[in-house]
Each structure stands twice: as structure tokens, then as C-alpha cells.
Amino acid sequence: MGDLLAPILDSREFILSRQLCTLFFIVFHIALTFWTYRDADRRGAMPWFWALTVFIFDLAGWIIYLVIRPPEYAEDVRERDLEIRAKENALTRQMETCPNCQKPVESDYLICPSCMKRLRKPCIECEKALKLSWTVCPYCKTKQ
Ligand SMILES: [Zn+2]
Ligand SMILES: [Zn+2]
């Protein structure tokens, strides 16, 4: 059997294809290491550590990385945090609070329902809630 295979094993084609295979695995290994570095970097998960792990343990290291890597890209997390903060800001900007007890009040409350502090006055003409400092009603132009 060995004698039969010998000419094949020694042939230029076989040696060449074996070298190509080796080259392929080296390229694949480098690509895998590089991909892991990029992916871990985007997810904010110790890119050098994971690139090194994949470099040393190859596919085994890569599979471990796939299992325990953070599920989201760091960019997405940051974006979502910004979105939430913007929404919170919008909410607090809309929400007025009583200057006396700091409880939330609607913009058309005449008094604070919690501490009874006078917040606004009704327009003498249209009865819309006006700020205490306003001397004219902006809705119906009546002087107060
Ligand atoms: Zn109050
Ligand atoms: Zn008015």
C-alpha cells in the first residue's frame, strides 16, 4: 500500500496542494484572529485578549468567544442610551413642577393639588390659566 501511494505522495501536485492547504489554514487563522479583534472591539470586549485567545486556541478559542461575547455592539448600546436620555429630557422639559413642593403639576393648573399654592390665575375674559406675572392674556388679548 505504501509503495502504491509513494509516487502520489512525492508528486509535485500533491506537495503543491498540501502547501496550498497549509497556506489556506494560515490565512484562515489570521483572518479569524483579525475578525475576532474587530468584533470584540466593536462590542467593547477586550479585543487584544480575544484576538490572542483565538490566535492560540484557533477555532476552540473562537467558539468560546462566540458564546461569551457581549450580545450587542458597544455603538448600539451607546446610541440607545442617548435615545433614552433624550426622551427623558423631553419628558422632564414638558413636566412642570410646583415651585413650593416640587410635585409635578400640569401647565394649566391654577393651584397645586398637593400644597394648594397658587400657580396661575384664570383670565378674566376667557378663563384660560395665565402665569401670575402676565398682565395681558395671550389667548384673548384682554388686559388683566
Ligand atoms: Zn405644591
Ligand atoms: Zn383670556
Note the pLDDT of residue 74. 85
- 112 CA from centroid of ligand 1 (Å): 5
- 133 CA from centroid of ligand 1 (Å): 18
Note the pLDDT of residue 2. 58
CA dist., res. 142 & res. 50, Å (int): 72
Task: Looking at the CA of 129, name the nearest ligand.
Answer: 2
Among all chains, which residue has been given the C-alpha cell 422632564? 92
Q: Is the dihedral of CA 4, 5, 6, 7 positive or negative?
A: positive
- 47: exposed, middle or buried (Cβ count in 10 Å: 0-12, 13-18, 19+): middle
Q: State the cell numbers at 140.
A: 384673548
What string of pLDDT tens digits covers the 144 residues of the chain? Answer: 556 777 777 788 888 999 999 999 999 999 999 999 999 999 888 999 999 999 999 889 999 999 989 888 888 888 999 999 998 888 777 778 899 999 989 888 999 999 999 999 999 999 999 999 999 999 999 999
Q: Is 41 helix (H, G, I), strand (E, B) or coil?
A: helix
- 127 CA from centroid of ligand 2 (Å): 6
Helices 12-42 and 47-57 cross at an angle (nearest 10°) of 160
- 89 CA from centroid of ligand 1 (Å): 22
Task: Looking at the CA of 101, name the nearest ligand.
Answer: 1
135 secondary structure, DSSP code? S
Note the pLDDT of residue 9. 75
Note the pLDDT of residue 1. 54
Each domain of the chain, given as residue ranges in start order, spans 2-75, 98-144
Helices 59-68 and 12-42 cross at an angle (nearest 10°) of 20
Q: pTM of the predicted model, to two decimals?
A: 0.51
